[in-house]
């Protein structure tokens, strides 16, 4: 019993960063912007969170720094894609490459340093209940309030929203920065709670898995929750199987989350009813207001 | 004060040529600022990084050696992106090319005649192409997002290589290091002088061949139309799915070729780490080269310079060579920003009064 509880806890810890990052990206994509730079924002959040917590000894300041780093990165992306209408796919890749490079340079001084671990409640990190509240909050705002309606309108038809007098670019900026804050926080969770230390490229593709999760959840917050826990379980499965000593090479178990992501994408994307009805119609399309 | 974009009537021919250079200039300025922040004289820093490597013969050789895989991969990616096919998993295709090409020297270390080199190169290109075909197939068959699937496969390929060199392919006489037997003799690419190997020639040929295909053939035209005007392409009867597969096979094959060329020259064996992120840097090469095969040639040399400059900066200035990746990221950012100038005029508008005046 004790062991299964421990496994449950590790699944939750593995799922939480995915959930936070995916929920943020979900809002971004609902507003019609595809930010492929989640990995870059996340890794910057991880290094900023670690660095500040290490220097001040306060995880709260660390979390603040992680969020700030994510927002700063996303604002850069916003400037590029919303103000300068650059290609969103390319700009997202640029954000990831820049984030990975910059975090490696900044984090070099912190490699091997002991980290500061976030306080826990009953063995659960403080950010776990927060991630659940965040999911519920986003689900409520997106589908039960006027704000959510406006965000989805901007994502589904930017010209109509513009014609109705909504400030498409401003709304998208805010959504993108919300996504940045979430990605930064998810990164901070990795370096402050999941493995409290700094390792280069420590996000290890989680930002990309979060992106896949949004598609997997067909842009629905509560399905994102289910998906994140499913992926958390898959990534922990590897450790559990390994501890049973079946002699399966660890590399195969480590590659499971990536393979499962691909399989999940294939299953969901083939289902037109799920994807086409929910995909924001203006996803990844640039908008330049008429004058 | 607001930034306003005003659409040009036509593409600006001036900025179409000037924008990569403008991006480069801005990157140099940003790079200078980074040096200042690290307490290094910016002019000295930039000189050590970007100029000094070009003044010595051995480092120019290194430049060409490093540019070869970047150009090979970048030119394939340029064709992909031209067709609006987003293959970002070239690093994985490179790895699989190295593995597939490495089968014969690992299995038959005593096979020593020119034929093994040919087999290695063909297998390498095929390995990359087949691995690239996976996201292509998933895209055309199941509509699965190729960006995500191709990237996920990078991690899978890296773990597969890791398993091979630590497990079944490990050299028994390798003191337990995770490496295969060192390739020797005909299992290595012949050099063209100095350390420059045959890979550089392949890169050059690929650029010339693809410049011809893109500019003068129907396939090239199909690729361009599918990318820039998909509706027109459909009316013309061009198959989008065929283009997606073609792009993935082509770019995968080139990445695989780059992979086997790396392990059959610079690295000389299979080991967990065979590329310093060439597959990702090649994305920048493709964009910096304006998705033009001949432009890619120059862009590849520049990105190679960023790697070599990083090493030089580490030695001379005592600054981490990780700065290379930062420069590469910043460069891509500025390229994308400057490309806006081709289609738009950028105006600064002062407050609402200015907007009203402009409207009059």
**pLDDT tens per residue, range B180-224:** 888 988 899 888 878 888 999 999 999 999 999 999 999 999 988
Residue A134 domain-assigned? Answer: yes
Q: Which residues from A are below 8 Å from B40, CB to CB?
A: none
pLDDT tops 70 at residue B357: no
Confidence of residue A136 (pLDDT cuts 50, 70, 90): very high
Residue B255 domain-assigned? Answer: yes
Mean pLDDT of A138-150: 95
**CATH number, position A142:** 1.10.3470.10
Range of the domain at B83: 67-301
Number of domains in chain B: 1
Q: Supply the pLDDT for residue B283.
A: 93
ipTM of this predicted complex?
0.90
pLDDT tops 50 at residue A192: yes
Query: Diameter of chain B by CA atoms?
Result: 82
Number of domains in chain A: 1
**pLDDT tens per residue, range A157-173:** 999 999 999 999 999 99
Confidence of residue A289 (pLDDT cuts 50, 70, 90): confident
Using DSSP's 3-state secondary structure scheme, residue A149 falls into helix
Residue B152 domain-assigned? Answer: yes
Chain A residues within 8 angstroms (CB to CB) of chain B? 36, 76, 80, 83-87, 89-91, 93-94, 97-102, 104-105, 108, 204-205, 208-209, 211-212, 215, 249, 251-252, 254-255, 258-259, 261-262, 265-266, 269-270, 275, 288, 291
Report the alpha-carbon distance of residue B223 to residue A24 in Å, rounded.
Answer: 35
Mean pLDDT of B19-47: 89
Mean pLDDT of B5-33: 87
The CA-CA-CA angle for residues B287, B61, B181, to 5°, reads 95
Q: What is the pTM of this model?
A: 0.91
Range of the domain at A273: 2-278
**What secondary structure letter does DSSP report for B54?**
G
Q: Which residues from A are below 8 Å from B3, CB to CB?
A: 83
Report the alpha-carbon distance of residue B270 to residue B293 in Å, rounded.
Answer: 30
**What secondary structure letter does DSSP report for B189?**
P
With 0-12 / 13-18 / 19 or more C-beta atoms within 10 angstroms meaning exposed / middle / buried, residue B232 is exposed
Residue A291 domain-assigned? Answer: no
Question: Within 13 Å, how many C-alpha atoms sit on residue B45's CB side?
Answer: 24
Residue B352 domain-assigned? Answer: no
The answer to whether the CB atoms of A84 and B159 lie below 8 A apart is: no
Residue A290 domain-assigned? Answer: no
Mean pLDDT of B342-346: 85
Residue B324 domain-assigned? Answer: no
Portion of chain A with pLDDT greater than 70, in percent: 98
**pLDDT tens per residue, range B306-336:** 999 988 888 888 888 888 889 999 999 999 9
- Among A116-125, A137-146, B121-130, B173-182, the range scoring the smallest mean pLDDT is A116-125
């Amino acid at each position: 019993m004790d062991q299964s509880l421990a496994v449950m806890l590790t699944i939750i810890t593995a799922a939480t960063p995915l959930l936070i990052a995916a929920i943020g990206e979900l809002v971004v994509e609902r507003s019609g912007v595809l930010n492929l730079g989640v990995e870059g924002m996340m890794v910057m959040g991880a290094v900023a969170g670690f660095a500040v917590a290490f220097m001040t000894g306060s995880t709260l300041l660390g979390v603040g720094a992680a969020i700030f780093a994510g927002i700063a990165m996303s604002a850069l992306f916003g400037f590029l894609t919303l103000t300068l209408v650059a290609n969103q796919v390319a700009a997202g890749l640029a954000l990831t490459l820049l984030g990975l490079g910059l975090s490696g340079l900044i984090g070099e001084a912190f490699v091997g340093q002991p980290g500061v671990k976030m306080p826990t409640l009953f063995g659960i990190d403080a950010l776990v209940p927060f991630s659940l509240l965040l999911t519920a909050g986003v689900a409520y705002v997106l589908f039960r309030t006027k704000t959510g309606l406006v965000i989805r309108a901007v994502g589904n038809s930017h010209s109509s929203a513009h014609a109705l007098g909504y400030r498409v670019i401003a709304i998208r900026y805010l959504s993108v920065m919300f996504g940045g804050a979430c990605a930064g926080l998810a990164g901070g969770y990795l370096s402050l709670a999941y493995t409290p230390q700094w390792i280069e490229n420590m996000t290890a593709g989680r930002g990309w898995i979060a992106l896949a999760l949004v598609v997997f959840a067909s842009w629905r917050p509560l399905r994102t929750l289910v998906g994140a826990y499913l992926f958390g379980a898959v990534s922990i499965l590897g450790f559990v199987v390994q501890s049973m000593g079946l002699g399966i090479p660890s590399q195969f178990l480590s590659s499971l989350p990536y393979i499962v992501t691909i399989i999940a994408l294939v299953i969901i994307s083939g289902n037109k009813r799920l994807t086409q009805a929910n995909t924001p119609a203006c996803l990844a399309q640039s908008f330049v207001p008429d004058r | 004060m607001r930034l306003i974009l005003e659409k040009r009537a036509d593409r600006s021919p001036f900025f179409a040529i000037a924008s990569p250079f403008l991006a480069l200039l801005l990157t140099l300025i940003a790079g200078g600022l980074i040096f200042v922040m690290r307490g290094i004289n910016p002019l000295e820093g930039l000189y050590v990084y970007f100029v000094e490597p070009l003044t010595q013969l051995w480092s120019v050789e290194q430049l060409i050696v490093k540019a070869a895989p970047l150009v090979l991969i970048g030119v394939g990616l340029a064709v992909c992106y031209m067709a609006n096919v987003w293959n970002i998993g070239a690093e994985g295709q490179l790895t699989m090319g190295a593995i597939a090409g490495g089968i014969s020297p690992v299995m038959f270390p005593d096979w020593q005649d020119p034929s093994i080199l040919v087999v290695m190169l063909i297998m390498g290109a095929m390995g990359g192409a087949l691995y690239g075909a996976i996201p292509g197939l998933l895209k055309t068959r199941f509509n699965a997002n190729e960006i995500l699937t191709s990237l996920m496969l990078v991690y899978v390929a890296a773990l597969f290589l890791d398993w091979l060199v630590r497990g079944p392919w490990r050299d028994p006489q390798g003191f337990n290091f995770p490496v295969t037997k060192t390739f020797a003799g005909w299992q290595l690419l012949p050099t063209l002088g100095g350390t420059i190997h045959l890979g550089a020639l392949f890169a050059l040929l690929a650029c010339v061949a693809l410049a011809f295909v893109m500019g003068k053939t129907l396939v090239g035209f199909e690729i361009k139309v599918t990318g820039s005007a998909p509706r027109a392409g459909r009316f013309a009867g061009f198959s989008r799915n065929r283009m997606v597969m073609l792009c993935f096979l082509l770019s995968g094959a080139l990445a695989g070729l780059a992979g086997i060329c790396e392990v059959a020259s610079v690295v000389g064996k299979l080991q967990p780490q065979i590329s310093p992120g060439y597959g990702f840097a090649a994305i920048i090469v493709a964009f910096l080269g304006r998705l033009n095969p001949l432009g890619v040639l120059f862009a590849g040399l520049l990105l190679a310079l960023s790697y070599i400059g990083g090493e030089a900066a580490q030695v001379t200035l005592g600054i981490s060579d990780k700065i290379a990746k930062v420069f590469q990221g910043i460069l891509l950012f500025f390229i994308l920003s400057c490309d806006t100038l081709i289609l738009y005029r950028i105006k600064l508008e002062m407050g609402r009064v200015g907007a009203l005046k402009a409207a009059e």
